[in-house]
């Protein structure tokens, strides 16, 4: 298959970041790339992977290798998926549909973000099988109404994100000119003028065909326009959410319930006690509490405490080797965020498909060179610490 010109020089997920920097206005790129405060958590997400090396096996006859995995009764073609990312329809035209459709075509999982600008019903229709992520307040009426709306749209996986009781201090976003709500300014206008492909292909095209973007899925009813001062009301009162609300959601939601943002083993155990089907070990890509360690560092202990639940992980994954390191330490599946957002910005659905293909090919090569046939074969014995390590559990036997 011939690649579009813009993608021919893209050889890895990291390459998408620099290409997106050239394509996107500075505030939009800053929103995606930014993290909290001093970026300690974002940087540790990458550092933790670098501290682990491989101890491969050889002469293992790996010609029949298959990287497919099963989650919640569904077979996925690869052990990675697309993480939820807010306002991705500002990165690429109809970005939520672009991401979900590329994932469906490739046979992988994708999670739609609650802070999205396209109605969840439209995404479900375009890409059945997409998962939905919710940020919920401690307001039972709003919780019940949104859960019912998500179920009515046909979603089967509800991902409850629990690590954002209050808004983070993302001063890095502010420095690049991004704010919530977006505020018209000479600087914002200039940023749009010097990125004409984005201005015409994403912003003006969206306005012409769909009107001013709104936050569509924070609640059961339509949220505020992205440039409205009332946007902030859509993100309030999350500090009331607690485990009693999880129990209520579990009783109401008939599909799979996944808790995202688990970092402590005790919370993994509580998620299991409250009926969760799975957890995502995550520090929100370093965008919440700065100084929170990389999920990779706590993954083995959290996986042990999960005791039978499906364990997934995100934050910092950029290579096939990262995917396999996470699998070795207890994850059944991983999610990748920013690189797929950049890919959508650079090349639309073709860009996301190319990013998936690059990561799939890396995982395939890495499995062969490690001497394994399936993701389930990825064990701690194939890892060794290179520096102050993420914890490597011992195998029985």
Cα separation, 335 vs 226, whole angstroms: 27
pTM here is 0.95
Burial of 307 (0-12, 13-18, 19+ CB in 10 A): exposed
Q: Which residues are annotated as a binding site for FMN?
A: 84-86, 113, 133, 161, 282, 314-318, 337-338
DSSP 70-111: EETTEEESSSEEEPP-TTGGGTSTTHHHHHHHHHHHHT--BE
Evaluate whether residue 210 is within a structural domain. Answer: yes
Q: Is residue 391 part of a domain?
A: no
Answer whether residue 310 is part of any domain: yes
332 within some domain: yes
Residue 137 has a pLDDT of 84
Q: Highest-confidence range of 82-91, 162-171, 175-184, by mean pLDDT?
A: 82-91
The CA distance from 155 to 84, in Å, is 15
Which is it for strands 383-385 and 157-161: parallel, antiparallel or unpaired?
unpaired
Q: Looking at the domain assignment, is residue 392 inside a domain? A: no
Question: Which of 63-72, 191-200, 223-232 is most confident?
Answer: 63-72
Structural domain includes residue 200: yes
3-state percent helix, strand, coil for the chain, nearest multiple of 5: 45, 10, 40
For residue 77, pLDDT over 80 is answered with: yes
pLDDT of residue 323: 99
> According to the model, what pLDDT value does residue 397 have?
46
| Number of domains the chain is built from | 1
Helical packing angle, 243-252 and 140-152, nearest 10°: 40
* CATH code of 355's domain: 3.20.20.70
Q: What is the pLDDT of residue 226?
A: 87
**pLDDT tens for residues 168-188?**
998 988 889 888 778 778 888
Residue 393, domain member (yes or no): no
C-alpha span between 332 and 346 (Å, rounded): 30
Active-site residue (options: 245, 284, 332, 354) = 284
- Is 332 part of the annotated catalytic residue set? no
Mean pLDDT of the chain: 94
Q: Is residue 256 part of a domain?
A: yes
pLDDT, position 307: 94
Specify binding-site residues for glyoxylate. 31, 135, 170, 260, 284, 287
Owning domain of residue 207: 5-384
> Quick check: bond before 20 cis, omega within 30?
no
Q: Are 340 and 318 in contact (CB under 8 A)?
A: no
């Amino acid at each position: 298959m011939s690649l579009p010109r813009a993608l021919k020089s893209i050889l890895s997920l990291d390459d998408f970041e620099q290409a997106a920097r050239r394509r996107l206005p500075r505030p939009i790129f800053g929103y995606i790339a930014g993290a909290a405060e001093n970026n300690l958590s974002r940087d540790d997400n990458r550092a933790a992977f670098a501290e682990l090396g491989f101890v491969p096996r050889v002469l293992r006859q790996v010609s029949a290798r298959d990287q497919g995995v099963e989650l919640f009764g569904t077979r996925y073609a690869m052990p990675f998926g697309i993480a939820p990312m807010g306002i991705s329809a500002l990165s690429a035209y109809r970005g939520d549909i672009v991401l979900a459709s590329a994932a469906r075509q490739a046979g992988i999982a994708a999670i739609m973000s609650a802070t999205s600008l396209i109605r969840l019903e439209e995404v479900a229709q375009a890409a059945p099988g997409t998962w939905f992520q919710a940020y919920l307040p401690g307001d039972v009426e709003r919780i019940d109404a949104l859960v019912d709306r998500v179920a009515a749209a046909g979603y089967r996986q509800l991902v409850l994100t629990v690590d954002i009781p209050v808004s983070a201090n993302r001063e890095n976003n502010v420095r690049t000119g991004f704010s919530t709500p977006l505020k018209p300014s000479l600087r914002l206008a200039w940023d749009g003028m010097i990125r004409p492909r984005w201005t015409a292909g994403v912003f003006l095209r969206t306005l012409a065909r769909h009107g001013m973007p709104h936050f569509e899925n924070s609640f059961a009813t339509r949220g505020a326009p992205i440039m409205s001062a009332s946007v902030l009301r859509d993100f309030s009162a999350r500090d009331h959410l607690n485990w009693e609300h999880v129990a209520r959601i579990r009783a109401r939601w008939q599909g799979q319930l996944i808790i995202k943002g688990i970092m402590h083993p005790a919370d993994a155990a509580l998620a299991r006690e409250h009926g969760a089907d799975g957890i995502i070990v995550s520090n929100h890509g370093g965008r919440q509490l700065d100084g929170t360690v990389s999920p990779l560092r706590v993954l083995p202990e959290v996986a042990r405490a999960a005791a039978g639940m499906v364990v997934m992980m995100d934050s910092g994954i950029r290579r096939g080797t990262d995917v396999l390191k996470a699998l070795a330490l207890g994850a059944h599946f991983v999610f990748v965020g920013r690189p797929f957002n950049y890919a959508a910005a650079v090349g639309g659905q073709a860009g996301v498909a190319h990013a998936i293909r690059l990561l799939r090919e890396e995982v395939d090569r890495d499995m062969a060179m490690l001497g394994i046939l399936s993701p389930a074969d990825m064990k701690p014995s194939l890892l060794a610490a290179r520096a102050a390590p993420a914890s490597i559990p011992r195998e029985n036997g």
